[in-house]
Chains A and B, each alone.
Chain A
């Protein structure tokens, strides 16, 4: 039970949510087209670029942006930072939705999705070499872990409502779920540690087909550290944004202290990348006049600028600055993933790829669904803490 968490109140559609619903609807139509017409017709994927937007964004970037639940659980339950406990439920909700939609995206991306059940069940065929197998099994399990971690929010609501049909069963389940949650929470830290690093290992196998500015032994470490930073960045942004929209008082002090965790992660990421390049003798590639070098520096800048900003105590307490720094970080991690999976991947000069309208509509639709579901769920279930503050006070804060 989270002290002070309560439903936001009645959910009503407004212009924003209506727009999101339309985008989601168009996405669903595109998904039906993909299932009916096949991958060749619905996507721009080809034999040179067999992985495109859905893998690079929905799966690889989407799950990293959904690492807030992982990061906050790590702080609260493993490092015993109880002060961040109010952030647990919003973070877990965002993670659960992000991972679930990544799962939907994988099902659309697979050429033979009706075979998907064989991955967990045909264990005697499991290939221990395959990083993708680990990613698939971990992400599927973690999706369930996240919803179980979130289940106390639903139980709290039904338990506290004697008129609900679920009142009795919720009351009975609360105790066992609470006791069993320890094992689930620990799994919820283990699984992302494994698969977020393995998402990096995935691109080690194409070896020389990935540009040397990105191809390294340290891909798993770089993917894990940047996933954590991205998760924290999203928690910060989500918190500031929802408090702004709902007219609540900012919890800037708590968010600013998260920055303390992010700064060393960022510094470590940058140092590891640069030192690794120097040791391999490929640092000169960063000073070549080409788009690869340019992207490399943009990535580093998007990681370095927030680190500098967040290291300053006065700046980090200013909500708009904090929001922008977090946005910068999320963007940096996104670009790093796009570059590793798409831009730096070099199948040969005669191949090219740019996502098709169908791919883009489906990805946009999934993001819209995620935002809609998030909004609806915080209205019905006790996810968020903090009481409403006078609107004027929020406006003075300037977001």
Chain B
């Protein structure tokens, strides 16, 4: 039990560290993140003519 939980926690931490490194190494303009939620992320600016596809999922 102890080994399983510790492995899970280490896996979570390593995955987070790798993802964070990947984002930091991205040369593109500032990357956005989003919350863990079933609500889709509004990635377009507010004036988007198509409303970023709101109401279509």
Same complex for A and B? Answer no
Chain B residues near A (Cβ < 8 Å)? none
A residues near B, CB below 8 A?
none
